[in-house]
């Protein structure tokens, strides 16, 4: 029995990987379990552990690690609590492989566990890059150097890892697993959404706002959220607003969102089931904010996206994405643009640069076929790049 451990600390990284996790959970000969911490157990951020339980995936350990403080130190303390809390359980279970995704602090926890407990590791979504200076960027690259193998979304990401001195035999281009859920799930009629979400969505349509504070913009994160909501409402569009992640300044964003609770042009949610979220997402007139889903998943539908502020800048994006400054005038102009017939018509031939929605099957085959123990030791000399 091959034992595979995956690490997750927040709803977003779990959603990115959930299609693969469900496959691994059903795979004969694989004992697949999750290490769960961070925001998953927080009521403030929607108690997303419920989504994991609904998928029926086994957990090796759940660690109540989130320091629910709106500061830079809180994020680091949260990571240190999770690392301290899981070492003995992982060492005693002795997994054959550890996998993790993205660029948040949980990935370096996984990489450190693998490196020091001598367990092969696979990092998903390495080789990506933004130009904002966000700490997640160097964390992602540092974890790539600690990881045994890389499952990347695009050829560009592979090229970046090669430029960092990673051996090509360690890199597998699978596409983005996040697309799989969006391709297989259907758009839900407004009548069903209204019943499930206990909302009254207008027949004229709605937008979805998903905004997370970027460290370089944390002093204006609340103002940007306010501008997004007001510009959308002023455009005559009903807006469904999701809660932010747990990064510094998230409290400012939440306070702005909550000031609109009860507004008849707004619906607020913390967490939705996967079916409800994708069903809602696919029916939106446009997505606004700075969520990575706008960069990756929206092009598969396709839906226009307005990315507000610095977060996500520098990442490859389809022509459905417009980048906007955070002032209300710029946001208003972008809303007018994405709702124009000319812009919508330009998306008819759009191909998602992040994949075709069949990535989980590719990743599963590689995970089952490859012997990652053969390449666990990274003996390559970075001066000799193949």
DSSP string, 179-218: HHHHHHSPPPPHHHHHHHHT----TT-EEEEE----GGGT
pLDDT along the chain (386 residues), means of 10: 94 91 96 94 86 93 84 85 94 98 92 97 94 82 96 96 94 95 84 92 95 90 97 97 89 96 95 90 96 93 96 92 97 97 94 93 96 93 74
Comparing CA positions, the residue from 330, 347, 282, 368 lying closest to residue 96 is: 368
Q: Which of 242, 187, 244 is nearest to 218 (CA)?
A: 244
Q: Determine the pLDDT at residue 39.
A: 86
**What is the separation of C-alpha 330 from the centre of its chain, rounded to a whole number of angstroms?**
26
Provide the pLDDT for residue 68.
Answer: 76
d(C-alpha 176, C-alpha 17), whole Å: 9
Provide the pLDDT for residue 151: 98
Q: Indicate the DSSP class of residue 152.
A: E
Domains along the chain?
A: 2-175+357-375 (3.40.50.2000), 187-345 (3.40.50.2000)
Give me the pLDDT at residue 265, please.
Answer: 96
How confident is the model at residue 381, as a pLDDT? 84
Tokens in use for 19? 């299609």
> What is the pLDDT at residue 69?
72
Tell me how far apart the alpha carbons of residues 185 and 139 are, in angstroms, rounded to a whole number: 32
Rounded distance between C-alpha atoms, residue 280 and residue 298, angstroms: 12
Q: Quickly list DSSP for 254-285.
A: HHHHHTTTT-TTEEEES---HHHHHHHHHT-S
User: What is the pLDDT at residue 112?
Assistant: 96
**pLDDT for position 386:** 55
Q: Whole-model pTM above 0.75?
A: yes
Among 30, 45, 33, 29, which residue's Cα sits nearest to residue 8?
A: 33
Helices vs strands, H then E, count in the chain: 15, 13
Nearest residue to 306 (alpha-carbon basis) of 345, 274, 343: 343
Q: What is the CA radius of gyration of the chain?
A: 20
Beta strands in 18-66 (DSSP E): 30-36, 59-62
Helix (H, G, I), strand (E, B), or coil: what is residue 239? strand
pLDDT of 87 reads 96
């Amino acid at each position: 029995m091959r034992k595979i451990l995956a690490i997750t600390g927040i709803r977003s990284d779990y959603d990115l990987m959930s299609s693969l996790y469900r496959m691994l959970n059903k795979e004969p000969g694989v004992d697949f379990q999750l290490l769960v911490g961070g925001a998953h157990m927080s009521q403030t951020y929607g108690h997303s552990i419920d989504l994991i339980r609904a998928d029926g995936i086994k957990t090796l350990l759940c660690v109540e690690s989130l320091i629910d403080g709106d500061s830079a130190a809180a994020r680091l303390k949260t990571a240190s609590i999770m690392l301290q809390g899981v070492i003995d359980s992982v060492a005693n279970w002795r997994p054959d492989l550890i996998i993790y995704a993205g660029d948040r602090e949980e990935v370096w926890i996984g990489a450190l566990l693998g490196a020091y407990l001598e367990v092969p590791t696979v990092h998903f979504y390495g080789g990506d890059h933004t130009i904002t200076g966000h700490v997640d960027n160097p964390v992602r690259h540092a974890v790539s150097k600690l990881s045994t193998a890389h499952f990347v979304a695009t050829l560009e990401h592979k090229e970046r890892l090669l430029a960092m001195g990673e051996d090509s035999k360690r890199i597998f281009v699978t596409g983005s697993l996040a697309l799989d859920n969006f391709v297989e799930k259907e758009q839900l009629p407004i009548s069903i959404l209204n019943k499930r979400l206990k909302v009254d969505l207008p027949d004229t349509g709605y937008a979805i706002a998903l905004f997370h504070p970027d460290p370089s913009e944390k002093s204006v994160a609340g103002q940007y959220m306010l501008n997004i909501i007001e510009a959308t409402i002023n455009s005559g569009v009903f807006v469904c607003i999701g809660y932010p992640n747990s990064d510094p300044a998230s409290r400012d964003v939440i306070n702005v969102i909550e000031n609109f609770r009860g507004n008849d042009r707004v619906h607020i949610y913390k967490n939705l089931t996967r079916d409800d979220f994708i069903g809602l997402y696919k029916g939106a007139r446009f997505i606004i904010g700075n969520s990575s889903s706008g960069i990756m998943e929206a092009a598969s539908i396709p839906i226009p996206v307005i990315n507000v502020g610095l977060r996500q800048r520098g990442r490859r994006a389809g022509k459905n994405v417009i980048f906007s400054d955070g002032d209300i005038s710029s946001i208003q102009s972008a809303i007018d643009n994405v709702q124009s017939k000319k812009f919508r018509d330009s998306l008819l031939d759009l191909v998602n640069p992040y994949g075709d929605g069949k990535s989980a099957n590719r990743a599963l085959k590689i995970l089952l076929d490859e012997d990652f123990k053969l390449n666990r030791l990274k003996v390559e000399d970075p001066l000799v790049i193949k």
